[in-house]
């Protein structure tokens, strides 16, 4: 506590000495003008800080009113992303099932073609899913099934890319 009073006394003494020196060097009127200029400068600075505080309060109130709307909008976007991710999951399951069925059909038809070709050289008829095909028709069917498989394999890749993009978007939200 004693050190505090000592510091205050020294600072006060230096201030009085500075004012006395300015009064002696500059004169009475100039010292008073300098003091008024300092006072005006300090008042202008305080007025500016008060204006900034009012502006900040107004901006804060504006943000308080907008904040719930922004939160609701973000929640809505997150819900949309979640719904789209669920749709992609269903579509992916469907596409995987179709690819699996296509692979089974192609495998079955190729096996039947080999069996029918070696055993029944005269009457080459392949039965598949309730329909009968000759070897040429069976080859066309295999080609169509392979094309379908390729389409759905590509769609599975697209689903993976879209899912990664949506998960990245969701992380940013």
What is the total residue count of the chain?
Answer: 173
Q: Helices (DSSP H) in 120-134: which residue ranges?
A: none
Average pLDDT over the chain, rounded to an integer: 84
- Report the sign of the C-alpha dihedral through residues 114, 118, 122, 123, in that order: negative
pLDDT at 100: 94
pLDDT at 6: 86
pLDDT confidence tier of residue 151, bands split at 50, 70 and 90? very high
Burial tier of 91 (Cβ tally within 10 Å: 0-12, 13-18, 19+): middle
Residue with tokens 């008829």: 125
> In angstroms, rounded to a whole number, what is the distance separating the alpha carbons of residues 86 and 84?
5
User: CB-based contacts of 151: which residues, under 8 Å, 6+ apart?
Assistant: none
Count of other CB atoms within 10 angstroms of residue 102: 21
What does the pLDDT look like over 20-71, one tens digit per residue?
A: 877 777 787 887 887 788 889 889 999 999 999 999 999 998 888 888 888 8
What does the pLDDT look like over 89-98, one tens digit per residue?
A: 999 999 999 9
Residue 13 pLDDT exceeds 70: yes
pLDDT at 133: 74
Count of other CB atoms within 10 angstroms of residue 123: 8
Domain count, the chain: 1
Residue 85 CA: distances (Å) to CA of 24, 92, 162, 169: 83, 10, 9, 12
Q: Give me the domain span that covers residue 22.
A: 2-172
């Amino acid at each position: 506590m004693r050190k505090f009073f000592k510091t205050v006394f020294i600072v006060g003494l230096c201030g009085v000495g500075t004012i006395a020196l300015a009064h002696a060097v500059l004169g009475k009127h100039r010292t008073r003008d300098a003091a008024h200029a300092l006072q005006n400068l300090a008042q202008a600075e305080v007025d500016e800080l008060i204006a900034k505080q009012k502006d900040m309060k107004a901006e804060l109130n504006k943000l308080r009113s907008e904040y719930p709307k922004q939160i609701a909008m973000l929640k809505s976007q997150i819900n949309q992303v979640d719904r789209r991710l669920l749709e992609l999951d269903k579509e992916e399951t469907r596409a995987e099932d179709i690819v699996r069925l296509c692979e089974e059909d192609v495998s079955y038809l190729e096996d039947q073609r080999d069996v029918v070709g070696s055993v029944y050289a005269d009457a080459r008829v392949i039965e598949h899913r309730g329909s009968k095909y000759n070897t040429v028709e069976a080859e066309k069917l295999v080609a169509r099934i392979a094309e379908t498989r390729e389409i759905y394999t590509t769609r599975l890749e697209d689903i993976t890319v879209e899912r990664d993009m949506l998960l990245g978007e969701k992380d940013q939200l």
